Chains A and B, each alone.
Chain A
Amino acid sequence: EPEVTQTPSHQVTQMGQEVILRCVPISNHLYFYWYRQILGQKVEFLVSFYNNEISEKSEIFDDQFSVERPDGSNFTLKIRSTKLEDSAMYFCASSGGTEAFFGQGTRLTVV
């Protein structure tokens, strides 16, 4: 069964460093999403991506964040100058138009 894969599964980084979270969506999907879930809290929408550009983004998705689809398969989330409060589980999801499939997430820990 096709699945969304995310790497790494866990990343620890020092405050102020840049991180890149990687996602490989399901191959024929056109809609891609990044979500964040702080431990014990709800899933928060960050950004949606369609047709090689951002279609919607939340208030959380400020200049610190950027997304790219560098090679037609990977979908990346870059977080610049990480802060302690960026520690969370980051989920990537892809959709062919209806059902969204989530990856297993990357746990980001900023120390």
Chain B
Amino acid sequence: QQPVQSPQAVILREGEDAVINCSSSKALYSVHWYRQKHGEAPVFLMILLKGGEQKGHEKISASFNEKKQQSSLYLTASQLSYSGTYFCGTEATDSWGKFQFGAGTQVVVTP
């Protein structure tokens, strides 16, 4: 069962913030976040393993609410380089090693 991401797309001005959500109908072991630029491979941003854990990468951070089976990615003070498609990948507790990706959220940061 693939995770559901929202929103589908977001357009930001440089310096603005955004939140991308990822939710699953299954109990999760881990959530991974990736960013993919057009024509390139997805690039790993971070992994979250524990409930309520928050991690950061530059001004991009994420939280994982294990009970709600959802994760949120926070883009803070966005930069032009943040443009791309963000995917969450989830690993359910009953299918360890099998990653399902969400449909992606396209982020466009404008000057």
Contact = CB atoms under 8 A, between A and B. Distances in A.
Interface residues of B, number: 22
B101 A104 contact: no
A37 B41 CA distance: 10
A99 B33 CA distance: 10
Interface in A92-110: 98-105
A42 B42 contact: no
B58 interface: no
Given A42-B87, A58-B98, A100-B32, A91 B103 contact: no
Contacts of B95: 56
A45 B96 CA distance: 13
Interface in A68-111: 91, 98-105
Interface residues of A, number: 22
Contacts, number: 52
A99 B44 contact: yes
Contacts of B28: none
Interface string A33-46: 10100000011110
Interface of B: 2, 32, 34, 36, 40-44, 47, 87, 89, 95-104
24 contacts: A42-B2, A42-B87, A42-B101, A42-B102, A43-B101, A44-B101, A45-B98, A45-B100, A48-B97, A48-B99, A55-B96, A55-B97, A56-B95, A56-B97, A56-B98, A57-B98, A91-B41, A100-B32, A102-B34, A102-B42, A102-B43, A102-B44, A104-B41, A105-B41
Interface of A: 31, 33, 35, 42-45, 48, 50, 55-58, 91, 98-105
